[in-house]
Structure 1
Amino acid sequence: MCLRRFVSRRGKPYEIYSDNGKTFVGANNELGRVLKSSREAVTEYGSTEGIRFKFSPAYSPHFGGIWEAGVKSSKHHLKRIAGNAALTFEELATLFTQIEAILNSRPLSPLSSDPTDLLPLTPGHFLIGRPLKSVPSLLIEKSRANRYDRIEQLRQQFWERWRREYLAELQQRTKWRRPDRELKVGDLVILKEDNLPPLCWRLGRITKLYQGPDGVSRVADVLTSRGTVKRAVHKFCIIPGDDIDPNSTA
Structure 2
Amino acid sequence: MIRHCAKCTKLRGNPVGQKMSNLPQCRTEPEAPFTHTGVDVFGSFKVKDYRKECKRYGLLLTCTASRAVHFKVLEDMNTDCYINSLRSFLAIRGPVSVLYSDNGTNFVVASNEFGKTVKELSEPRIKEYLSTKQCSFSFSTPTASHMGGTWERMIRTVRNVLRGLLIESNTNRIDTSSLCTLLYECMHIVNSRPFTTTTLHSDQNFESIPLTPNNLLTMKNKNLLPPPGSFTSPDLYSHKRWRRVQYLTEQFWSR
Q: TM-score range by the shorter chain?
A: 0.5 to 0.7
Matched residue SS, 2:138: strand
Output the TM-score relative to the length of structure 1.
Answer: 0.58
- What is the aligned partner in structure 2 of residue 126 from structure 1? 216
The change in CA–CA distance for 1:93 and 1:112 in structure 2 (over 3 A counts) is closer
1:91 aligns with 2:186: no
Between the aligned residues of both structures, percent identity stands at: 33
1:138 aligns with 2:229: yes
Runs of 5+ unmatched residues, structure 1: 162-250
CA distance in 2 between counterparts of 1:26 and 1:39 reads: 24
| 181, 188, 192: which one aligns with 1:101 | 188
- What is the aligned partner in structure 2 of residue 81 from structure 1? 165
1:59 positional shift:
2.1
1:105 positional shift:
0.8
RMSD over aligned Cα atoms:
2.1
Given that 2:99 and 2:136 are in contact with CA atoms closer than 8 Å, whether structure 1 keeps it comes out as yes
1:30 aligns with 2:113: yes
Matched residue SS, 2:129: helix
Runs of 5+ unmatched residues, structure 2: 1-83
The change in CA–CA distance for 1:63 and 1:137 in structure 2 (over 3 A counts) is farther
Count of residues in Structure 1 that have an aligned counterpart in Structure 2: 160
Matched residue SS, 1:119: strand
Runs of 4+ in 1 over 4 A off after TM superposition: none
The change in CA–CA distance for 1:49 and 1:154 in structure 2 (over 3 A counts) is same
Given that 1:18 and 1:54 are in contact with CA atoms closer than 8 Å, whether structure 2 keeps it comes out as yes
**1:140 partner letter:** F
Matched residue SS, 1:109: coil
Deviations 1:97-119 (A, max 9, x none): 111111111111144597x7612
Given that 2:200 and 2:211 are in contact with CA atoms closer than 8 Å, whether structure 1 keeps it comes out as no
1:79 positional shift:
0.6
Given that 2:200 and 2:209 are in contact with CA atoms closer than 8 Å, whether structure 1 keeps it comes out as no
1:45 aligns with 2:152: no
- What is the aligned partner in structure 1 of residue 65 from structure 2? none
Output the TM-score relative to the length of structure 2.
Answer: 0.57
CA distance in 2 between counterparts of 1:29 and 1:125 reads: 35
**1:11 partner letter:** G
Equivalence map 1:6-17=2 (5 Å): 6-17=89-100
**1:105 partner letter:** S
The change in CA–CA distance for 1:137 and 1:23 in structure 2 (over 3 A counts) is farther
Considering Cα pairs closer than 8 Å and 6+ residues apart, tell me whether 1 or 2 has the greater RCO. 2
**2:157 partner letter:** S
The change in CA–CA distance for 1:89 and 1:109 in structure 2 (over 3 A counts) is same
Matched residue SS, 2:116: helix
**Which one has the bigger helix percentage?**
2
CA distance in 2 between counterparts of 1:125 and 1:119 reads: 10
